[in-house]
Amino acid sequence: MRSLRAAAVFLSAVLVLLAAATPSCDRGPLRFAWLSDTHVGSDRGADDLRAAVADINTAKGLSFVLVTGDVTEIGSFEELRQAKSILDGLRLPYHIIPGNHDTKWSESGATDFPRLWGSDRFVFASGGFRFIGLAQGPVMRMGDGHWAPQDVRWLDKLLAEKGAKDRPTVFVTHYPIDESIANWYVVLDMLKIVPTAAVLVGHGHSNRAMDFEGVPGVMSRSILGTKDVASGYTIVEIGAKAMTFSERTGSKTLLPWHTIELKKSRVPMAAEGRETGGGEGKAGSPPRPDFSVNGLDPNVRSRWQYDAGWTIASSAAVYGETVIVGDASGAVRALRVADGSVAWEFHSGGPVYSTPDVGAGRVVFGSTDGAVYALDAATGGLAWKVGTSRPVVACPRIADGVVFIGSSDHVFRAIDLATGHSVWSHAGIEGFVETRPLVADGKVVFGAWAGRLYALDEKTGQLAWTWQGDRSSPLYSPAACWPVAANGRVFTVAPDRRITALELATGREVWRTDRWAVRESLGLSEDGKRVYVRTTQDIIAAVSTVAGSPESAWETNVGFGYDINSAMLVEKDGVVFYGTKNGLLLALDAATGAVKWKHRVGVALLDTVTPLSGREVVVTDFDGRVSLVVSDR
């Protein structure tokens, strides 16, 4: 008898689970709240989020809450912790992903987010729908959004599960799935093979109906209010025949501003006959990547390519006949220049976004596990490890047997390369450091993400001077560019679109200009006579390091279009190399600015390239690939 009762209980439980997972036209509508672009850390972010949480807690009939990115203003640990404290006040479960403001300016390399929330992506089922949340960065570098290779694998595995092609799906992300994401089509084509009812996005701070090659998209407003617009959020209701979107503001839910009609299967009516792959021919669709430029010069090609399978947001360092590079898995590898094969491999405890430096047979890098590592550059064996109290996303510079490196714990360190012992440390740095410091004329110069450029004494670590531009927001800091020096001057660029020349000894401003609308890309000629800058639209220019005012040696319209990549320009053997945010590698004559060749390596952002010669250059990219590109001329 007991066994029969147990069997009955088991059968009842199974039926309940099946009912929960199976769409039913008789079931009441599924309702949930949708918050986007909360920007905690901005003027109104925390207060408006508290108001939204309080309002949701009084609302009736809601099942859960979605939060679709830009949770904070600059992704700092304090901002993230405050946002979580407020959101944890919800009486409903909530599901959250980061946005570009949480990842681009992240002092932790975007690792604080999953540490606090357990993950930076989600999947769950409710009301007969499967909800999948996945963000697209970009992580640490300025550029377009990008689906990370490790995230694409995760999504592919989900969509390959048994029954996935029959489960109505709501996909949740931050950016619209269009050209604002470098490899937008990769995920969109995956979503076409399952019954995707809608794609919910933020980023644009407005209510907007969208269409992604036949897949319905909806953008939600930011919760933030202004002097003219009250704060608010979105209520989504999914019934038997439609999915509706209504704005809730002032504790009132307005009439739906958008409706997606659904079939009995919960698939949008508009999805009938949509493409299952590709979409090049659909009116209004962004064009798929064009690699025709590679056919213009058959003398330029990739000799080999290594696929790490994880985001690479740092550059390669050269040691002998190998190049050394880290990735988001925490791995650091030495690849043989001859064929791209792995010579050795080392694993740190967190993603590596720090470009390594090599000196005296050692390679040094930082990791988001909070440590600075020195390895034997020939074998990959650990030489020493120095811990800090926060993730390290900064790039080291080795000079005269000393490693100079910043961190996210507001301490700049000088470490003995041979022993790992502290030479000196300078506490109190405002903001976190991600750049590679300049070491010149007894000074160590670097920017930090609180607006300042610092100069410390190379031997003692004492502060020599600081400089700050005329924009107070941390977002305009001279912190991503690698500063350069020549003729007693230090040069820097920043997102305020200005290039600045300062006296290296004193920090006095020599000149400052927005003539070239630069951003964060900078480089120095091999003879020290020119600094190279890339503008945000088409132009690369060479600027005199000697003249008393801004004076260009040459300016070239290279035709790369709009570009905001934070990669540096590098000269080698009279050739200037630069890689764009969309995978285009450029080579220019250093003396004249004439374009020597262009080669598209891929679609993803290219990190600062590592030339081996004027004809060979190692390229790393956000798709997790290391390539050796060669020119026969």
What pLDDT was estimated at residue 7? Answer: 43
Helix-, strand-, coil-residue percentages of the chain, each rounded to 5: 15, 40, 45
Residue 498: strand, helix, or coil: coil
Buried b / exposed e along 164-202 (16+ C-beta atoms within 10 A) = eeebbbbbbbbbbbbebbbbbbbbbebbbebbbbbbbbb
| 98 falls within a domain | yes
What pLDDT was estimated at residue 266? Answer: 66
Label residue 27 by pLDDT band (50, 70, 90): low
Q: What's the total number of domains in the chain?
A: 1
Q: Name the E strands within 93-231.
A: 94-97, 121-126, 129-134, 169-172, 196-201, 208-212, 215-219
Q: In this structure, which amino acid lies at residue 603?
A: V
- The Cα 514–Cα 519 span in angstroms is 10
Q: Tell me the pTM.
A: 0.93
The label of the residue with tokens 């408006």 reads 48
Cβ partners under 8 Å of residue 538, min gap 6: 557, 558, 559, 560, 561
- The Cα 558–Cα 584 span in angstroms is 11
What is 51-65 written as a DSSP string? HHHHHHHH-SS---E
Residue-averaged pLDDT of the chain: 93
pLDDT at 280 over 60: no
| 179 falls within a domain | yes
What pLDDT was estimated at residue 449? Answer: 97
| 27 falls within a domain | yes
- CB of 531 closer than 8 Å to CB of 484: yes
What pLDDT was estimated at residue 344? Answer: 98
**Choice among 18-22, 222-226, 506-510, 561-565 with the minimum mean pLDDT:** 18-22
Question: What is the mean pLDDT of the segment spanning 361-382?
Answer: 98
- The Cα 627–Cα 600 span in angstroms is 11
CA 570, distance to chain mean position in Å, is 22
- CB of 451 closer than 8 Å to CB of 469: yes
pLDDT at 14 over 80: no
The larger pLDDT score, comparing residue 28 to residue 518, is at 518
- What SS3 string covers 79-90? HHHHHHHHHCCC
| 609 falls within a domain | no
**Choice among 12-21, 93-102, 283-292 with the minimum mean pLDDT:** 12-21
| 83 falls within a domain | yes
| 28 falls within a domain | yes
Question: What is the mean pLDDT of the segment spanning 49-65?
Answer: 97
Report residue 168 as tokens. Answer: 């109505």
- CB of 38 closer than 8 Å to CB of 83: yes
- CB of 314 closer than 8 Å to CB of 620: yes
| 342 falls within a domain | no
Question: What is the mean pLDDT of the segment spanning 79-84?
Answer: 98
Residue-wise pLDDT for 104-118, tens only, equals 999 999 999 999 999
Report the CATH number that the domain containing residue 199 is assigned in CATH: 3.60.21.10
Label residue 435 by pLDDT band (50, 70, 90): very high
Label residue 88 by pLDDT band (50, 70, 90): very high
| 213 falls within a domain | yes
Q: In this structure, which amino acid lies at residue 47?
A: D
- The Cα 542–Cα 65 span in angstroms is 51
Question: What is the mean pLDDT of the segment spanning 464-482?
Answer: 95
Which residue segment(s) compose the domain that 237 sits in? 19-271
* % pLDDT > 90, the chain: 90
CA 475, distance to chain mean position in Å, is 15
pLDDT at 274 over 60: no
What pLDDT was estimated at residue 472? Answer: 84
Question: What is the mean pLDDT of the segment spanning 413-432?
Answer: 98
What pLDDT was estimated at residue 268? Answer: 72
Residue-wise pLDDT for 480-524, tens only, equals 999 999 999 999 999 999 999 999 999 999 999 999 999 999 999
Label residue 21 by pLDDT band (50, 70, 90): very low
Residue-wise pLDDT for 171-183, tens only, equals 999 999 999 999 9
Residue-wise pLDDT for 504-513, tens only, equals 999 999 999 9
